[in-house]
Structure formats: C-alpha cells, structure tokens
Amino acid sequence: MKARIHITLKKGVLDPQGKAIAKALSHLGFVGVEEVRQGKYIEIDLAGSDTQTARAGLDAMCAQLLANTVIENYSIELDA
C-alpha cells in the first residue's frame, strides 16, 4: 500500500521558508503571489493489505514522529 502524508504548518505559525519563497518569486518578476506556505510531503510504502490497520499505524507515525503537533497538522491518504 502507498500512503501520502501532507504535513503543513498550523495557522498562525510563522513560516520562514514560505516567506522567503514568496520574496524570491517576486524578485524573479512573478506577480500575483499572495502567500506561500511550505510543508512536507512524505510517501510511505507499506506491507500488508488491511487499510484499517494501516491507517491506524500511519496516524501513530504522524503523531509520534512525522509531525510536530505543536506547530504542524498532518493528513493521510491511503491508496489500496
């Protein structure tokens, strides 16, 4: 199974990388960029076929390691 995990900064948490990207884009002459937020995208290949177990496992992985829930949110998609 393949899981796709998005980790994004919580609202209100400053995002130095996003800000820097926005600035760089405007330096390069791109107009209309209002806000940029940078997050992480993690793909995990999992053994097994039980999506329910998998989902529980992935949730635990995110909460315990992949995301810092003080500043980040996460979301999980699972392809069977």
Positions in the binding site for other proteins (CB under 8 A) = 9-10, 12-17, 19-21, 23-24, 27-28, 38, 64-66, 68-71
By beta-carbon proximity to a second copy, the closer residue of 41 and 70 is 41
Q: Find the shortest distance in angstroms from Cβ 70 to a second copy.
A: 18
Indicate which of a second copy, other proteins, none lies near residue 20 (CB less than 5 to 8 Å, by partner kind).
other proteins
Does residue 7 contact residue 66 with C-beta atoms inside 8 Å? yes
The distance in angstroms from the start CA to the end CA of the chain is 5
3-state SS class at 56: helix
- Looking at 11, 12, 16, 65, which residue binds a second copy (CB under 8 A)? 65
Provide the 3-class DSSP secondary structure of residue 77.
strand
DSSP 8-class letter at 14: -
